[in-house]
Structure 1
Amino acid sequence: MDSGDLRLLLGVAEGVDVPALAEDLGVSATTVRRRLRRLCGPGAAGWLRYSETDGYAVTDRGQAAVGPAKKAVTALDRIAGSLGVDEVSLAHVELIMAVVAAGSISRAARRLQLPQSSVSAKVSRVEERWATTLFVRDPTGVLCTAPLAKLLPQMALLEQAVARLSRSRPGDVPDGPVTVPGFELAVEIGFLGLIDALSADGLNVRQHVIDIPNRVWTRAMCQADICIYLDLPMVRLPVPADHETTVAFADPVYAFLPAGLAAGRSSVGLGELADQDWITGAVGSRNHSSVLALCRAAGFEPAVKFTSPHTMYARRLLEAGLAVALTSATFAPGPAVHAVRLAEDVEVRVTVGWRRGGTATDVAHRIVHWLRNSHVRRLSDIRPELLAEMRADPDRWPHLVEV
């Protein structure tokens, strides 16, 4: 269950037709119909029922869910409005509330039955998505910041509404001729909308964020059915013999520069950054190793002044112009940071891997297709001139030809 399901339930209850629902949610009518079918169940078991004559209608069970669904959606919209973002994920709110209730990342991880590093990474990604620091970490656990304290009343109302909804949640039913349940997706970096898209196709895919500290596949990567990770310049990961991979998409490398240094520039050579302070990932991490290798190949040893595993902290350093760093074309954190294309011919690859000959092959290729389309949309929004340049060179950027 997510906010999209709740909005679909409310839309059907209000008599909104499928095209209008699709427009409201910003998805295709086909996707809406698939998700509506998931909300149906045998007899009165689902929130919705469907007939050829009347279309979709709300069942008695669904009618009981309308009230708490309205409260949940209202709370989500108020939280989003307070944060100044377009939309807030129900799963993100549930994660933050779990940490608040536990009082520490480690205790929340035990309750959620997840690795502490995974929960910590998820919290950092929520803070990045919301552009707000939510917790202050101290030796005893975490403390809520003032912005989070203001959100807690709406979060509590949302939690109450979700608790009521869980008692009337519709049972899952097959969606289409093929349903593949129970896939584990390990991701180094999350992609907004991927799990919703897979769910709309009738796939039960569970996602968890992983750390890849060194230059080899981790145990979590090998144990997952499918994994998504970054191949960085000069530190690409060798693929285990029993796995296969494909590059979903690749991006040219960009450099984050202070405003004065970036002014009027369309590109910058690594050698021009030899006298700058640098920020990388933690010492020994792949990001740190990649930066060292690239700079040494350009003839200098980078002055790595900051090593930050926390994206929010790194962003503040970059926004203040205190250091330079490397990124890819589509992973820049926002307009407050100046990103200029690197003159050197290097790239970052987003790679999808899965066990050779396993049942995850078809799902992996669906994920690759979704990532490629998402990449093109992102480029068209933030770097249309780069998209045109890359499409004009299909030998180097073959994934763009397929989209």
Structure 2
Amino acid sequence: MGEFVDIELRHARTVAIIERAGSISKAAAELNIPQSSLTAQLRRIEKAVGGQLFVRSPSGVVPTALGEHLIPMLADLIQRADMVIVEAAAHASEVFRFGNAEWTPPSLHSALQSSLPAAEVQTETLSPADAVEAVYRGWLGAALVPSMSLVAPADLPETVLDQAVVVREPVWLAVPREHALTRRTAVEMDQLATFRWVRYARNHWFHPIEKHLFDKADCADPEVLHYVDGHHEAMNWVREARAAALTTPSGATPDVSLVPISDTESTEMLLVWRRGSMAKAMLSRLVKTVRGYYREYARTIPRYWSWIKEHPGDFPELGRTIGAGRQPVVSLASALCQDGPTPSSA
């Protein structure tokens, strides 16, 4: 039997990816290596553990009896190693890295830095799926992403990440500033078929939400001018091409108009972090600061803020201060006193 000490963490990850993918070819594609190289690597791993881990067939691979015994142990090894990386990074560095989907305004960085004065805050904009992966790997301390069902890898262990709802954002219509619909209280779903549209690329997290709304409006094949890769690009097309787009209110820009849609859908915006990676007090400050930041940002969108005040039941995470006066989001004392569920109850 081979020496088990020959098995390295990278070998454990390789076995886990093969088991999850269900075939050598799919795993090779995920790892971006030739299938022959992965097959040779698997043979070396199996030689080290003293037997086959998988039974190969034209339809894929399934674990052998030895595989069923060892693969869960290798998966546990990976999880423990990742936790070591997270803990070591937390103690060895005073940098807190925060990820955000779509775009990260300087005011968000300032709010985070004020609430976490003991750390140097670094912010990064990246795709939601990449942000979730980075949090899982310990490369980010936390990230603000849309609903996990839209962006999280299907194989992500549920026990590794925790999350708190920041807000449930409605999906609204964005039109040029002087458009006649801007005087309407709301538009009906069946009116969506009358516009020229800017839509989101099929690999963008917002695309499934957009598609669901078009299907709901019996508007599965509208006139489309352009497919975009983000909300701000969509808003540029709304302004310059006189088109319409669906968006969350926080995804709009001041040079377009927002119109509520009757019977619309909402998407959860989540704060995601790795379980056990932060002290409870720090986590509480972070959650409340991000919620406070969102509340202050919503105030800069007049129609949206009015809507929030008129429908407080739709925004429970923003707390009782919806109807109160302005509170500086950058104040640590204010962040600690804001209402709303704790991370454990969110």
Q: Which amino acid aligns with 2:104?
A: G
Change (3 A) 1:311 1:299: closer
Q: Is the 8 A contact 2:172 2:248 kept in 1?
A: yes
Per-residue deviation, 1:332: 1.8
Query: 1:324 pairs with 235, 244, 248, which one?
Result: 244
Q: Is the 8 A contact 1:249 1:350 kept in 2?
A: yes
Q: Does 1:205 align with 2:121?
A: yes
Q: Is the 8 A contact 2:175 2:239 kept in 1?
A: no
Cα separation, 1, equivalents of 2:219 and 2:298: 32
SS at match of 2:306: helix
Cα separation, 1, equivalents of 2:99 and 2:182: 39
Per-residue deviation, 1:187: 1.7
TM-score when normalising by structure 2: 0.55
Query: 2:94 pairs with 166, 178, 181, which one?
Result: 181
Cα separation, 2, equivalents of 1:305 and 1:217: 30
Cα separation, 1, equivalents of 2:133 and 2:240: 38
Query: 1:231 pairs with 134, 137, 147, which one?
Result: 147
The C-alpha deviation readout for 1:90-148, integer Å capped at 9, x for no partner, is xxxxxxxxxxxxxxxxxxxxxxxxxxxxxxxxxxxxxxxxxxxxxxxxxxxxxxxxxxx
Change (3 A) 1:321 1:260: farther
Change (3 A) 1:221 1:274: farther
What does residue 309 of structure 2 align with?
Answer: 388
What does residue 399 of structure 1 align with?
Answer: 318
Cα separation, 1, equivalents of 2:142 and 2:276: 12
TM-score when normalising by structure 1: 0.48
Percent identity, please. 18
Per-residue deviation, 1:256: 0.8
Aligned length: 220
Q: Does 1:333 align with 2:253?
A: yes
Query: 2:110 pairs with 176, 184, 196, which one?
Result: 196
SS at match of 1:379: helix
Q: Which amino acid aligns with 1:203?
A: A
**Is there any run of 5+ residues in structure 2 with no aligned partner, and where?**
1-91, 321-338, 341-346
**Is there any run of 5+ residues in structure 1 with no aligned partner, and where?**
1-178
Q: Is the 8 A contact 1:292 1:302 kept in 2?
A: no
SS at match of 1:386: helix
Per-residue deviation, 1:272: 0.7
Cα separation, 2, equivalents of 1:299 and 1:338: 24
What does residue 277 of structure 1 align with?
Answer: 196
Greater RCO (CA < 8 Å, at least 6 residues apart): 2
SS at match of 2:218: coil
Cα separation, 2, equivalents of 1:205 and 1:217: 16
Cα separation, 1, equivalents of 2:319 and 2:187: 25
What does residue 96 of structure 1 align with?
Answer: none
The C-alpha deviation readout for 1:254-295, integer Å capped at 9, x for no partner, is 111244341421211222111322212223322222211221
